[in-house]
Amino acid sequence: MSGSLRFLLDENLGIKVYEELRRMNLDVQSVISGRRGIGDLEIINIAKLHNKIIVTMDKDFGHLALSHGPLGVILLRLRDPRVPNRVKALLKAIELKEKLYGCLTVVTETSIRRRPFAPP
């Protein structure tokens, strides 16, 4: 499903989302496992270093990412952020595959919007 896509989950996604995605055999790492409490810039640097797309629910992170250009960011903006809804929204975004690179992808219950990062 995700080909060679690799993901780094911000801690606000929670451990249950991470565990569910691992059960689906997605290449996913969570900030919760070992790096809890690190800042957004450090998350961006880790994602760049390991070629991972960042997944977060932190809308402020999106603005920061636009200026620092990580590989890609998926921002979940859900009215009902329970675990099954977070997983469903992320799976919907993963269907975009290569289109996730180089942009901020905002996912809601009803839409997906992409905004390219500024060139370096």
- 32-50 mean pLDDT: 82
Measured between its terminal Cα atoms, the distance across the chain in Å is 30
Contact (CB, 8 A) for 99 and 109: no
Domains of the chain plus CATH, in order, are 6-116 (3.40.50)
DSSP state of 119: P
The 10s digit of each residue's pLDDT in 47-104 is 989 999 999 999 877 777 767 766 899 999 999 999 999 999 999 999 999 889 888 9
DSSP type of residue 77 = -
What average pLDDT does range 17-44 have in this prediction? 88
